[in-house]
């Protein structure tokens, strides 16, 4: 018997990266999986979006573990489409126990250069997308008086970052939403928590736009990225995390081992948030 045998988990942004690893981990531990993703590049995104082939690969991984995988191409910003997907997933898989609001987008744009479209797309995916995923799912969890929800925030849910004011605002909002949901739905037997990853070695972090933002040049490599991200972590020789690390924490949070935990945000950051800060570029005149 696996840690999550007999359970059903629903994951937004499940085609690749953290979403895929969460699906892989929960399926390996006995859960049936429902995943959806946009499978396209959002209009303001600075890196490639997931593809239909990515989604198919996640389905293959889940089914190879002997679990069912209900899947669909859905835009997390489309409340009606997400609601239909959630209801159809429950009808197909029989129940719903775990909800991972994981879909996200970041872009690197100085605040004075942000357009309303830049601001809206990041917040629509990261915040409204979380609402769209969690609200219809919670209707099922309330009815059965059990279940657990994990929202994906970021270390930027607690700290600022250069040229990501819109993303930082969205990830702060995700933590606020998590706390309110934990308060409101605890009496219904539903737990709600969040994870706050640091740098993770997925397309979202390891892409040409982010590498240029970090290094100020066009020829930076993945090796450069891994070397630089060691400076973001306090644990010895720890570069950008692999997404399975985040998946492992999610699996624990939604397990019975964490059954008394709700309303918390867990840093998955190799100690990033305990590093002391200082001004690298003080103005002296």
Domain ranges of the chain: 8-199+242-261, 206-239
Beta bridge partners of 8: 32
Q: Does the structure show a pLDDT above 90 at 277? A: no
Summarize pLDDT for 131-140 with one digit per residue, the tens: 999 999 999 9
Summarize pLDDT for 138-167 with one digit per residue, the tens: 999 999 999 999 999 999 999 999 999 999
Summarize pLDDT for 189-240 with one digit per residue, the tens: 999 999 999 999 999 999 999 898 889 899 999 999 999 999 999 999 999 9
Pairing of strands 98-101, 265-268: unpaired
* Homologous superfamily (CATH) for 8-199+242-261: NAD(P)-binding Rossmann-like Domain (3.40.50.720)
Q: Which of 169-173, 222-226, 275-279 has the lowest mean pLDDT?
A: 275-279
Q: What is the number of other CB atoms lying within 10 angstroms of the CB of residue 94? A: 11
Q: What is the pTM of this model?
A: 0.96
pLDDT at residue 110 in the model? 97
Catalytic residues: 167
Summarize pLDDT for 53-100 with one digit per residue, the tens: 999 999 999 999 999 999 999 999 999 999 999 999 999 999 999 999
């Amino acid at each position: 018997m696996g840690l999550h045998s007999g359970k059903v988990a629903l994951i937004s942004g499940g085609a690749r990266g953290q979403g895929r690893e969460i699906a892989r981990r929960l399926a390996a531990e006995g859960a049936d999986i429902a995943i959806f993703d946009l499978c396209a590049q959002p209009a303001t995104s600075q890196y490639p979006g997931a593809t239909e082939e990515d989604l198919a690969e996640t389905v293959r991984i889940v089914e190879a573990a002997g679990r069912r995988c209900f899947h669909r191409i859905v835009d997390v910003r489309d409340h009606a489409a997400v609601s239909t997907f959630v209801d159809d997933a429950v009808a197909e898989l029989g129940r719903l126990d775990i909800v991972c609001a994981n879909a996200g987008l970041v872009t690197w744009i100085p605040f004075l250069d942000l357009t309303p479209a830049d601001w809206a797309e990041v917040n629509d995916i990261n915040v409204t997308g979380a609402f769209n995923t969690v609200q219809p799912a919670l209707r099922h969890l309330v009815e059965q008086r059990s279940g657990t929800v994990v929202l994906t925030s970021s270390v930027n849910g607690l700290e600022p970052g250069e040229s990501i004011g819109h993303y930082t605002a969205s990830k702060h909002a995700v933590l606020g939403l998590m706390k309110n949901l934990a308060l409101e739905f605890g009496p219904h037997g539903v737990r709600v928590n969040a994870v706050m990853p640091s740098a993770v070695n997925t397309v979202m972090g390891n892409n040409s736009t982010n590498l240029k933002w970090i290094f100020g040049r066009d020829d930076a490599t993945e090796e450069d990225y891994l070397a630089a991200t060691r400076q973001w972590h306090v644990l010895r020789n720890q570069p950008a995390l692999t997404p399975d690390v985040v998946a492992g924490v999610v699996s624990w949070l939604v397990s019975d081992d964490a059954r008394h935990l709700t309303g918390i945000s867990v840093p998955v950051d190799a100690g990033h948030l305990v590093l002391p800060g200082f001004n690298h570029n003080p103005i002296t005149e």
